[in-house]
Structure 1
Amino acid sequence: MRIHVIGCSGSFAGPGGAASSYLLEQEDENGRVWRVLMDLGSGAFGPLQSAIDPADLDAVLISHLHPDHFLDLTGLEVFWAYHERDDLPQLPIHAPEPLPERLSAVLGRKGPVPDGVDCVPFDYHVLRDHQQFSIGPFDIQVREVVHPVEAYGFRITAGGDVLAYSGDTDTCQALDDLAVGADLFLCEAGYIEGRDDRFTGVHLTGLRAGEAAVTAQAGRVVLTHIAAWTDPAVPLAEARSVYSGPLELATPKAVYDTGRSDSPS
């Protein structure tokens, strides 16, 4: 399984890149490459177009409805609804239930049908805790995690390898369950110890991300969702203080292959 970092800035698009978005690719037994997008936060639709033609997407997973994880679906909807191609099928979007209403509110319209067209470009599927489903060669497990809004993390298996994605969360059993034995653990570390102790139930610190990796006996760990005001070396050092395995920071345009310990391309 290949993971492209489209955006990894925490809470908002930063000066060096977009907010959360990750493109997954996996070839099936017939040689067809499937492409699933996890999150499409503020500023991410631009760099997504540099990585692939968005018309090649097979599905989108949205972990939760904070703008830094879903807002650029507005651009993807425009692309899908008004594209010069008239053969694009409805694009499956797996997300918390309020997403269609939220998109309509952002765009200032009533209902899910874009202006001037006669159908909904997205095929909405509601995420639930403990849900399991497949998209091509991807087997997806969903767990609700701890965040101020309804939020989910994902455990994705393809080609015999496992990717765990924390979404946005604080420490919880669901996170440990998602990450157990994962080949690659893409884990948020939006807070740091001491500075952010007054906030609970929102984000992991680097230390708590490292502790989750240890508990889960995860393989390679990639820390993400670090805000522009945070020196990323701090959460990295926090995680390193407890986790001794392969550990690094997500960067825009990085590409990771699960099950491999070499540096990203």
Structure 2
Amino acid sequence: MRLTVLGCSGSGPGPRSPASGYLVDAGGTRIVLDLGNGTVGALQRHLDPWDLDAVVLSHLHPDHCADTSALVVHRRYHPFPPYDATARKLPVHAPAEAPDRLGAAYAPSAAERAATDLTDVCAFATMTDGGTASVADVDLRFGAVDHPCEAYAIRVDHDGRSLVYSGDTGPCEGLVRAARGADVLLCEATWPHVTQWWQEPPPGVHLSGRQAGEHAAAAGVGRLLLTHVPVWFDGDALLAEAREVYDGPVELVRPDATYEI
């Protein structure tokens, strides 16, 4: 498997990166994990959007799904689509509210939504805790994590290799279960770790760099890739936190970087 970072800026796009989006090529099957703001533009540097085999959305906050609208426009209105692709709907694995949420983002008025529910382009499949799905010979597994909305960690298995993407989550056992024994954990690290209770950020939202490292260590993953660092925090500082508690290979991902799994 090969992982390409389309965007890795936490909570929204930054001056040097789109928001969250990751392209996985597993034996020629191409899957995107999340489509945050700006990621469809980045996707086109690496892949023709017609060649996508599936989209998997960890949750429905805009920095992880907003560019679904751009992908729909591309596949619906492109004047020269591949002749054999127009009849094939794109599988979209997402939380249950995705058709309504993404439809409202694409078509704000009720009248417009009545005429365009995205199902001419997308074949929606609902994610559940412990649920599974397959895209060609790639196996997907979903595990609920701790976030203000319905959110999932995503495990991708292919040909004996495994990648787990945390999505957005606070500290939780669900992420450890999903990542157990994975070759690579692509994990959010959104804010610095604090030790004083009055400094603590809201619970059940995101991980610190240290917490990302702790989850990687608890799950026994082979490699840790940190992502989702907002523009207002220092990614190198979060990387240093993770290294204090996880002794495997760990690095901070960069836009357009590619990683072999």
The residue that corresponds to 2:159 in the other structure is 159
CA RMSD in angstroms comes to 1.6
Which of 45, 54, 59 is the aligned partner of 2:40? 45
The residue that corresponds to 1:96 in the other structure is 95
SS in 2 for 1:176: helix
Distance 2:150 2:232 in 1: 26
The residue that corresponds to 1:6 in the other structure is 6
- Greater displacement, 97-106 / 231-240: 97-106
Distance 1:76 1:234 in 2: 34
TM-score (normalised: structure 2): 0.92
Amino acid aligned to 1:114: T
Asked if 1:135 corresponds to 2:135, the answer is yes
Distance 1:186 1:113 in 2: 38
Amino acid aligned to 2:242: A
Asked if 1:228 corresponds to 2:227, the answer is no
Percent pairwise identity: 43
Asked if 1:54 corresponds to 2:53, the answer is no
Distance 1:80 1:46 in 2: 14
The residue that corresponds to 1:81 in the other structure is 76
- Equivalent pairs, count: 251
The residue that corresponds to 1:114 in the other structure is 116
Amino acid aligned to 2:207: L
Contact 1:38/1:60 (<8 A) preserved: yes
SS in 1 for 2:45: helix
Mark the CA change 1:16 to 1:36 in structure 2 (over 3 Å): closer, same or farther: same
Which of 29, 35, 39 is the aligned partner of 1:34? 29
Amino acid aligned to 1:72: D
Deviation readout 1:92-127 (Å, 9 max, x if unpaired): 101111112112222314437539x9x621111111
Deviation readout 1:208-228 (Å, 9 max, x if unpaired): 000001101111100000000
Asked if 1:216 corresponds to 2:219, the answer is yes
Contact 1:142/1:155 (<8 A) preserved: yes
Deviation readout 1:133-184 (Å, 9 max, x if unpaired): 1111211110110000000111111121010110000111110011111111
Asked if 1:204 corresponds to 2:199, the answer is no
TM-score (normalised: structure 1): 0.91
Deviation readout 1:227-252 (Å, 9 max, x if unpaired): 00111111101101111110000100
4+ long deviations beyond 6 Å: none
Distance 2:183 2:104 in 1: 39
For structure 1, the 5+ residue unaligned runs are 28-32, 259-265
Distance 1:57 1:198 in 2: 37
Distance 1:112 1:197 in 2: 44
Amino acid aligned to 2:180: V
SS in 2 for 1:241: helix
- Structure having the higher helix fraction is 2
